[in-house]
Chain A
Amino acid sequence: MVPTIFYAASAAAAAALLMLLLPAARKVRTAGTVLGLASLAWILVTIVRAIPVTDSALGNVGMTVLCAFISVAAAVRVITHHRPVYSALYFVLVVISGAALFVLLSAEFVAFSLVIVYAGAILITYLFVLMLAQQSPSETGGADAVEYDRVAREPAAAVTCGFVLLAVLGSVIFASPRSAADASADQVAAVERAWADLGRMPDALLERARRTDPQVRMVVPRSNGAWIETQRDFTAVVSVQRVDSDIASDLVLSPAMLPENTARVGMALVTRFPVSLELAGVILLMAMLGAVVLARRQSELADDERRALAGLDRLAGSEASPARSRG
């Protein structure tokens, strides 16, 4: 069964986006903004009301809704603003609220690298290129933006395509919810994987064992060769030697001792995906070389032009002979 209410809200959002994209009067744009915010709220409320929220998760859901409003509104501004520089700045807002969503989904490391790489590096590159290539407003006459930034290309067709895609995505996302059995099987497998990751981090394992019991001297492998053994109630058992004896005994680690997200991402990066990591490095190197090749001047310069570019002429003008002999 497909929720028609979701489709209706998507259609309202599409109409709102179309009103914002068309070159229209201020009144129409205000109406589009109101309709857009209302339909976004409609979509989010539909989802939240369909799935009961436990009290402990209420804060996270509220923050998610807030970030949803910020990021979607900023994304709409990115594609509707007439001035490219403001579009880029609104994209920074999308990135930051996206990073907040990542933190809410407990992906802290990726959230921080998102802010550093996107807001810090990629967006600065975009701003540089915009400032290199953009005509200043005075050149184009008046305070208004240039024509190709003001007038949208085929907005009705684009919005129709986009929101048909949204309806299809929505029906796929919400059509087949996973069963309770699947969810708890996922849960058990996930906790087992997390404990196995901790077993591959000797220092973290020893530190956690000491935090549980300060008398621990060292952690030793268990009789079956593994460092750690998961139990049914999501705790884990390790073998330890305490300071007062050489005989190994069992120590139970509580689920609060599970490894942190960042440690597990690093572990997965170097143990499960080492080849991809190397390939990512190759891609970055290739991009760097490509950018250098693209940015090189295409025309051959004459000797005196090259001197002028290097600023040697000015040097030669001020202190005549030494600069010339050095050059």
Chain B
Amino acid sequence: MNAFLAPVSSAIASVSTALEGMGQAFSAASEAQIALSLAISALLFVIGLVGFMVRRNMIIMFLCTELMFQGAALAMITVARMHMDVSGQVFVIFILTVAAAEAALALGLVVLLHRRRETLSAEVWSDLGEA
């Protein structure tokens, strides 16, 4: 494991010497923090995915897609930080926009479906057709 990540540590050493005395926006992001954040984003995405497959309540299924959005947004921010570019942050703003639109529409659909069958279970809709 140590040999496997050795190039990263040498990269940190050279960058962190270059970063001495820089402004706040450009200092103190270590490669370890970036690796940790990427691991957290992968975990959040996977937990959201498992939840989407496992839960049977339609509202919670959509909540799990929001969890996946969180993981993706965290990965965006982390890679933006790694390359010290702001495009990743701008992309997260658009992710927020799409998530808000998706929540509004999906919850509207859930309310309609609930009115038809009086239950939130996704399984009553396993045979799609004229209800």
The answer to whether B36 touches A44, judged by C-beta atoms less than 8 angstroms apart, is yes
Q: Which residues of B contact A323 (CB under 8 A)?
A: none
Q: Distance (Å) between the CB of B95 and the closest chain A CB?
A: 9
Interchain CA distance A107-B103 in the complex, whole Å: 24
Q: Distance (Å) between the CB of A201 and the closest chain B CB?
A: 14
The 8 A CB mask of B44-86 against A (1 = contact, 0 = none) is 1111111101111101101110110010011001101111111
The answer to whether A53 touches B30, judged by C-beta atoms less than 8 angstroms apart, is yes
Q: Distance (Å) between the CB of A93 and the closest chain B CB?
A: 11
The answer to whether B29 touches A255, judged by C-beta atoms less than 8 angstroms apart, is no
The 8 A CB mask of B10-43 against A (1 = contact, 0 = none) is 1111111011011111111111110111111011
Q: Which residues of B contact A191 (CB under 8 A)?
A: 26, 84
Q: Distance (Å) between the CB of B69 and the closest chain A CB?
A: 9
> Which of B53, B78, B83, B109 lies in contact with A190, CB distance below 8 A?
B83
With A64-B37, A153-B54 known as contacts, the answer to whether A56 contacts B28 (CB < 8 A) is yes
The answer to whether B32 touches A57, judged by C-beta atoms less than 8 angstroms apart, is yes
Dominant SS at the B interface?
helix
Interface size class of B (residues with CB under 8 A): 35 or more
Q: Which residues of A contact B103 (CB under 8 A)?
A: 122, 125-126
Q: Which residues of A contact B92 (CB under 8 A)?
A: 107, 110, 114
Dominant SS at the A interface?
helix
**Most B C-beta atoms less than 10 A away, residue of A56, A57, A60, A109:** A57
Q: Distance (Å) between the CB of B91 and the closest chain A CB?
A: 9
Q: Distance (Å) between the CB of A103 and the closest chain B CB?
A: 10
Q: Distance (Å) between the CB of B25 and the closest chain A CB?
A: 6
The answer to whether A151 touches B77, judged by C-beta atoms less than 8 angstroms apart, is no
Interchain CA distance A95-B92 in the complex, whole Å: 14
Kindly state whether residue A101 has any CB partner on chain B within 8 Å: yes
Q: Distance (Å) between the CB of B11 and the closest chain A CB?
A: 4
Kindly state whether residue B131 has any CB partner on chain A within 8 Å: no
> Which of B42, B50, B66 lies in contact with A91, CB distance below 8 A?
B66
Kindly state whether residue A134 has any CB partner on chain B within 8 Å: yes
Interchain CA distance A122-B109 in the complex, whole Å: 15
The answer to whether B47 touches A162, judged by C-beta atoms less than 8 angstroms apart, is yes
Q: Which residues of A contact B130 (CB under 8 A)?
A: none
Across the interface, name the chain B residue whose C-beta is closest to A113.
Answer: B96
Question: A-B contact count, CB below 8 Å?
Answer: 350
> Which of B46, B78, B87 lies in contact with A105, CB distance below 8 A?
B78
Q: Distance (Å) between the CB of A2 and the closest chain B CB?
A: 8
Q: Distance (Å) between the CB of A112 and the closest chain B CB?
A: 11
Interchain CA distance A48-B110 in the complex, whole Å: 43
> Which of A60, A157, A184, A255 lies in contact with B26, CB distance below 8 A?
A255
Kindly state whether residue A5 has any CB partner on chain B within 8 Å: yes
Kindly state whether residue A17 has any CB partner on chain B within 8 Å: yes
The answer to whether B53 touches A161, judged by C-beta atoms less than 8 angstroms apart, is yes
**Most A C-beta atoms less than 10 A away, residue of B3, B10, B14, B84:** B84
With A50-B4, A265-B86 known as contacts, the answer to whether A79 contacts B120 (CB < 8 A) is no
> Which of B26, B53, B97, B120 lies in contact with A280, CB distance below 8 A?
B97
The answer to whether B10 touches A105, judged by C-beta atoms less than 8 angstroms apart, is no
Kindly state whether residue A231 has any CB partner on chain B within 8 Å: no
With A50-B2, A72-B40, A260-B25 known as contacts, the answer to whether A94 contacts B70 (CB < 8 A) is yes
Q: Which residues of B contact A318 (CB under 8 A)?
A: none
Across the interface, name the chain A residue whose C-beta is closest to B109.
Answer: A294
Q: Which residues of B contact A152 (CB under 8 A)?
A: 54-56
Kindly state whether residue A309 has any CB partner on chain B within 8 Å: no
Q: Can you spell out 8 A-B residue pairs with CB atoms less than 8 angstroms apart? A: A47-B32, A57-B30, A75-B48, A84-B120, A98-B74, A107-B92, A268-B87, A283-B97
A57-B32, A87-B60, A265-B93 given; name 4 further pairs at CB < 8 Å: A60-B29, A91-B67, A153-B56, A284-B101
